[in-house]
Amino acid sequence: MNKNFRNMLIAFIGAFFLSLFSNTLSPFITTIKNTYGVSSTMIAVLPPTVYLASFAMSIIGAKLMAKLDLKKGLYFGFSFIIIASTIIIFAKSFYVLLIGYFFSGFAVGMGSLIATTIISLLPKQYQKFGLYNAFFGLGGILILPISKFFLKNGISFHYVYIIHIVTIIVFFLIATGLKDVSIHNQNSSENSHVSLSVLKNPLVLTMCLAIFFYVGAEISTTNWTGTFLEKYYSISKANVPNILLAFWILFTLGRAFGDKIIDKIGALRFLCISPIISILGIFIILSKSNSYFALVGVGIIGITISVIYPAIQGYIIQHVPSKDIPSASAVINIFNNCGATFLTYIIGFAAGIKITSVFIIQIIFYLYIILASAKYLKKTKTNEKAA
């Protein structure tokens, strides 16, 4: 097997297992609340604990990656899944459980940083960011029937984490095949390091802010669209999960084929067009005319936003000097986790005032992505004419 293809495949498998693990919490929130007898206020602490730990590790991990390099860093990051799962399985109190989920955030922060950096350092034809994110999305989809099986049969949610321990042990065996990919350039006399100073590059800063805003838009779509449909279209609570599952399937399919679309029309051109269509989908939802029409709007958003993140990610990685690729990969993950940690609550606060404001904020975020992409597209065309 071609070594670059093998390394790419290992990163994809890692993304799948990491997603399977990180998306386990959400379906069991109510079960955890009832099992440990905690209040709604206390149970609400769990998701932000994971986000905060992930954000912290994405910063710390940037420094650790330079010392451990990719293979050791991969084992280090994914070992937190085993640690977190073990704590969760044996947790007798909610506070011990909270520690377990804090460690799960470390796994997500470090694991995603290393896996995406592996993809970033491969030759361009193997930098399939869309497909990488599709594997991550697939894990999020498959955990739903798994969790439903456990809930339906009255099996304790703790046992799901035994599955995660087993999958990570299997992944560790697979990861032994990771070879000849490193943040240290063997052909250069420069010492490789990971530094946030890469943000001094205006392109990196501008497009990382696009990542930041995109993450806020994506998470708010999945968090609040169901509530909006219930309130304004009288769609039952029982049907909302099925609608969101359909959204995620379209979203993941979009990412699976996204690399081909980006290769064909270019990342910047795509980033100028796709958010416009997403905004159209939002207007369809806000029209409040017909429930079927609203579902079409949700579908449009699911497909069109799916490739925005991989397109921005790939554009940044492919437009920085090779020595700055690990640093660029690190700051992408930092801005990603920062958006997930902070914008989630800002948008949630806005939703508490008026739920339609969520979609207005999303439109503003998409407009930033359009303007930032148009700026560099114009520069590219100007440079091509000058050449």
Q: What would the DSSP string read from start to end of 205-254?
A: HHHHHHHHHHHHHHHHHHHHHHHHHHHHH---TTTHHHHHHHHHHHHHHH
DSSP result, 22-37: HTSTGGGHHHHHHHHT
Rounded-to-integer distance, Cα 294 and Cα 281, Å: 8
Q: Is residue 387 part of a domain?
A: no
331 class by beta-carbon count within 10 Å (0-12 exposed, 13-18 middle, 19+ buried): buried
- In Å, what is the CA distance from 173 to each residue of 10, 130, 169, 333? 10, 25, 7, 26
Under DSSP, the state recorded for 192 is P
| Domain membership flag for residue 244 | yes
Whether 320 is covered by a domain: the verdict is yes
Specify the CATH number for the domain of residue 266: 1.20.1250.20
Q: What is the average per-residue pLDDT within 35-59?
A: 90
Per-residue pLDDT at 190: 53
In a domain, 222, yes or no: yes
Residues 158 and 199 in one domain: no
Q: pLDDT (tens digit, 9 = 90+) per residue, 168-227?
A: 999 999 999 999 888 876 554 455 578 889 999 999 999 999 999 999 999 888 888 888
Residue-level pLDDT at 381 = 83
Residues 197, 281: one domain? yes
- Residues 165 and 198 placed together within one structural domain of the fold: no
CA distance 255 to 302: 10
Residue where one domain finishes, among candidates 133, 154, 181: 181
**CA–CA dist 31, 183 (Å, integer):** 42
- CA-wise closest residue to 101 among 147, 30, 53: 53
210 & 353 share domain: yes
Please give the single-letter amino acid code of residue 40: S
Residue 22 has pLDDT above 90, yes or no: yes
User: Do residue 46 and residue 126 come from a single domain?
Assistant: yes
Q: 85 Cβ partners below 8 Å, 6+ apart? A: 21, 100, 104, 161, 162, 164, 165
Q: What is the overall mean pLDDT for the chain?
A: 92
Residue 111 belongs to some domain of the structure: yes
Confidence grade of residue 380 (pLDDT, cut at 50, 70, 90): confident
Tally of domains within the chain: 2
- Does 187 reside within a domain? no
Q: Report which residue type is found at 249.
A: I
Residues 210, 191: Cα–Cα separation, whole Å = 30
Share of the chain above pLDDT 70, in %: 97
Range of the domain at 173: 1-181
Quick one: 354 and 218 in the same domain?
Answer: yes
pLDDT tens digits, one per residue of 59-104: 999 889 988 889 999 999 999 999 999 999 999 999 999 999 999 9
Do residues 293 and 200 both lie within one domain? yes
Which of 181, 212, 247 represents a domain boundary (last residue)?
A: 181
User: What is the arithmetic mean of pLDDT over 152-159?
Assistant: 92
Model confidence pLDDT, tens digit, residues 106-140: 999 999 999 999 999 999 999 999 999 999 999 99
Same domain, 31 and 135: yes
Percent of the chain with pLDDT over 90: 71
For 238-274, how does the pLDDT look when each residue is reduced to its tens digit (9 = 90+)?
Answer: 788 888 889 999 999 999 999 999 999 999 999 999 9
Given 118, 153, 181, which residue is the final one in a domain?
A: 181
Count helices and strands (H / E) in the chain: 15, 0
| Same domain as 198, residue 175 | no
Do 36 and 135 sit in the same domain of this protein?
yes
Q: What sign has the CA pseudo-torsion 74, 77, 80, 81?
A: negative
Query: One-letter amino acid identity for 56?
Result: A
Residue 70 placed within a domain: yes
The answer to whether residues 196 and 173 belong to one domain is no
* Structure token digits, residue 104: 């799960």
User: In 3D, which of 51, 56, 49, 55 has the Cα closest to residue 98?
Assistant: 49
In a domain, 186, yes or no: no
Q: For residue 316, what pLDDT band results from cuts at 50, 70 and 90?
A: very high
Per-residue pLDDT at 144: 87
Place of tokens 């992409």: 373
Residues 176 and 265 placed together within one structural domain of the fold:
no
Alpha helical stretches, state H, the chain: 3-22, 29-36, 40-43, 46-90, 94-121, 129-152, 160-175, 202-233, 240-265, 267-286, 291-305, 308-317, 325-338, 344-353, 356-386
